[in-house]
Amino acid sequence: MSPSLVVTRFAPSPSGELHLGNARTALFSALYAHRGSGGRFLLRIEDTDAERSREEFVTALLADLHWLGLAWDAVPLRQSQRRGIYAAQLAHLEAGGHAYACFCSSAQLEASRRAQQAAGKPPRYAGTCRRLTPAERAARLAAGEAATLRFAVPEQGEVVFNDLVHGPRHFACRDLGDFILRRADGSPAFFFSNALDDAESEVTHVLRGEDHLTNTPRQLLILQALGLQAPQYGHLSLLTGEDGTPLSKRHGATSVRELRDRGFLPEAVLNHLFRLGHSTPVNDLLTLAQMAAAFELPHLQRSPAHFDTAQLLHWQRVTAHALSAEAAQAWLALQLPPDLPPGQREAFVRAVLPNVVLPADADEWVAVAFGPPPEPQEDAREALGRCAPGLMTAAAQAARDHGNDFKAIADAAKAASGAKGAALFKPLRAALTGRLHGPELGLLLQAFAPGAAQQRLERFT
């Protein structure tokens, strides 16, 4: 593979729903890969933690990514199926003197941690088992003692890397502590399987959450010990709510599924995510291909990004109002009465689309159009009270003759009363919908059941 080709990946742990922060990570990773030609975006399911990983979350993750339109370029790797590969590489590290068996119990580790904290030192593994002789180690293993495998971090020096977002980073080795590569139950630890898989998949750029920044020096040490090429890492700023605290349930929807269930459209979600922690001069609604062309690593911001419902609603409005007639009907399908004839359905959706941002916004107009004749609201009642003499009678007569034809109704009302402009349209709208605002009447009336306009107008003659 040519070294200049970009390979990125998204590596979720299937222990929950696709959080908006992770969706943004997936988006940026997909965009960076698809920015030039030939790049690849991979998906890897990090399901080594059997207790927390659930198959239903894998299914949901795939469905959410699919809904967003983020397509991956190869069969997803499942870490749970790579145990043999991990075991071989761990043995390799151990044989090379880069890893050692640790027999410390959790109680011992906890005691050591407390002692370090009491002495004002940051807690890290004290190195107890690193000092065992090979013979001591072999004897304890032979006796069946449970052991983890720890990485032997070099005692001196530092790990330096150039973060794609944060610039040069330096970590002193003595601050890292010998970390676990394999748990006592035999399962590989995150640091290890994550780094190894990136290298084996020839990932060139890792974009991931800032919470992983301090993991990176450990992962670079592992890859160096294995003689494998490390990717470049970029750590994306935290996603917060509008108040600056980490995005959580308090802020409303935090997962892709919740937004989807509320009727948000994928393009709207993507357009908001695209601008979270990534500055762009482009203010138009963008397709994924356009976002890929406009995505720039130097435009990734270090400061936390605020998820902003008002911004999301802005993109939702723009997206919804640009839907094709067919897509709009599908989007609002659950809101509509089930047996609505196709002509009325089409007219209704065309009429109300400019008035809705989320499907639930259509409920009011469904009630107005298909429910019983609506009682006029206060301002509508006033408009009806000021209605020119003869207007309503002529309007009702026209509806009797021409059905739900608003032009015929308005023309007749105007000719009979001489009213025009607001004096003509307000009372008509008030009688027909009970409101003084709302969708274009000509279209809305086409959605009404036969005879509905006449029935509503006659109430005020």
Q: How far is the CB of 196 from ligand GLU (least distance, A)?
A: 12
From residue 120 to residue 149, what is the string marking binding to ligand GLU with x (rule CB under 6 A)? ------------------------------
Instruction: Name residue 238's amino acid.
Output: L
Per-residue CA distances from 130 to 112, 116, 148 (Å): 15, 18, 12
Q: Which is nearer to ligand GLU, 12 or 439 (CB)?
A: 12
3-class SS at 149? strand
Q: 39 Cβ partners below 8 Å, 6+ apart? A: 5, 6, 7, 8, 32, 33
Taking alpha carbons only, the member of 261, 269, 430, 444 closest to residue 365 is: 444
Contact 402, 450 (CB under 8 A): no
Residue-wise burial string across 46-73, b where 16 or more C-beta atoms lie within 10 A, e elsewhere: bbbbeeebeeebbebbbebbebbebebe
By CB under 6 A, name the one of 8, 13, 53, 204 that touches ligand GLU. 13
Cα–Cα–Cα angle for 16, 40, 22, nearest 5°? Answer: 20
Taking alpha carbons only, the member of 36, 37, 41, 24 closest to residue 204 is: 41
Residue 11 lies near ligand GLU (rule: CB under 6 A): yes
Q: 158 Cβ partners below 8 Å, 6+ apart? A: 170, 171, 172, 173
Q: How far is the CB of 22 from ligand GLU (least distance, A)?
A: 7
Nearest position to ligand GLU, beta carbon: 208
Taking alpha carbons only, the member of 218, 205, 212, 257 closest to residue 93 is: 218
Q: Which is nearer to ligand GLU, 7 or 413 (CB)?
A: 7
By CB under 6 A, name the one of 7, 8, 12, 384 that touches ligand GLU. 12
Q: Which is nearer to ligand GLU, 100 or 190 (CB)?
A: 190
- Calpha distance 419→417 (Å, rounded): 5
Q: 55 Cβ partners below 8 Å, 6+ apart? A: 14
Q: Which is nearer to ligand GLU, 11 or 276 (CB)?
A: 11
Q: Which is nearer to ligand GLU, 213 or 395 (CB)?
A: 213
From residue 222 to residue 261, what is the string marking binding to ligand GLU with x (rule CB under 6 A)? ----------------------------------------
Q: How far is the CB of 142 from ligand GLU (least distance, A)?
A: 35
Q: Which is nearer to ligand GLU, 53 or 335 (CB)?
A: 53
Site for ligand GLU in 45-64 (CB under 6 A): 46
Q: Which two tokens stand for residue 63?
A: 């469905």
Q: How far is the CB of 210 from ligand GLU (least distance, A)?
A: 11
Q: How far is the CB of 66 from ligand GLU (least distance, A)?
A: 18
Stretch that binds ligand GLU, among 5-13, 70-78, 85-93, 339-347 (CB under 6 A): 5-13
Q: How far is the CB of 191 from ligand GLU (least distance, A)?
A: 10
Q: Which is nearer to ligand GLU, 33 or 430 (CB)?
A: 33
Q: Which is nearer to ligand GLU, 74 or 360 (CB)?
A: 74
Site for ligand GLU in 27-46 (CB under 6 A): 46
Q: How far is the CB of 212 from ligand GLU (least distance, A)?
A: 5
- Calpha distance 446→440 (Å, rounded): 10
Q: How far is the CB of 8 from ligand GLU (least distance, A)?
A: 10
Q: Which is nearer to ligand GLU, 194 or 204 (CB)?
A: 194
Q: Which is nearer to ligand GLU, 205 or 456 (CB)?
A: 205
Would you state the torsion angle of the CA atoms of residues 429, 431, 436, 440, taken in this order, to the nearest 10 degrees? -30
Q: Which is nearer to ligand GLU, 43 or 101 (CB)?
A: 43
What string of DSSP letters covers 169-194?
EEEEGGGT---EEE-TTSPBPHHHHH
Q: Which is nearer to ligand GLU, 218 or 350 (CB)?
A: 218
Stretch that binds ligand GLU, among 6-14, 136-144, 154-162, 378-386 (CB under 6 A): 6-14
Contact 429, 438 (CB under 8 A): yes
Contact 412, 323 (CB under 8 A): no
Site for ligand GLU in 159-218 (CB under 6 A): 194, 206, 208, 212
Q: Which two tokens stand for residue 447?
A: 């959605």
- Calpha distance 461→457 (Å, rounded): 7
Q: How far is the CB of 364 from ligand GLU (least distance, A)?
A: 41
User: What is the DSSP code (8-state) at residue 229?
Assistant: P
Q: How far is the CB of 231 from ligand GLU (least distance, A)?
A: 10
3-class SS at 42? strand
Q: Return the axis-axis angle of helices 216-226 and 83-95, rounded to nearest 10°.
A: 80
Q: How far is the CB of 232 from ligand GLU (least distance, A)?
A: 13
Q: How far is the CB of 265 from ligand GLU (least distance, A)?
A: 26
Per-residue CA distances from 409 to 385, 438, 449 (Å): 19, 18, 16
Residues lying near ligand GLU in the complex (CB under 6 A): 11-13, 46, 194, 206, 208, 212
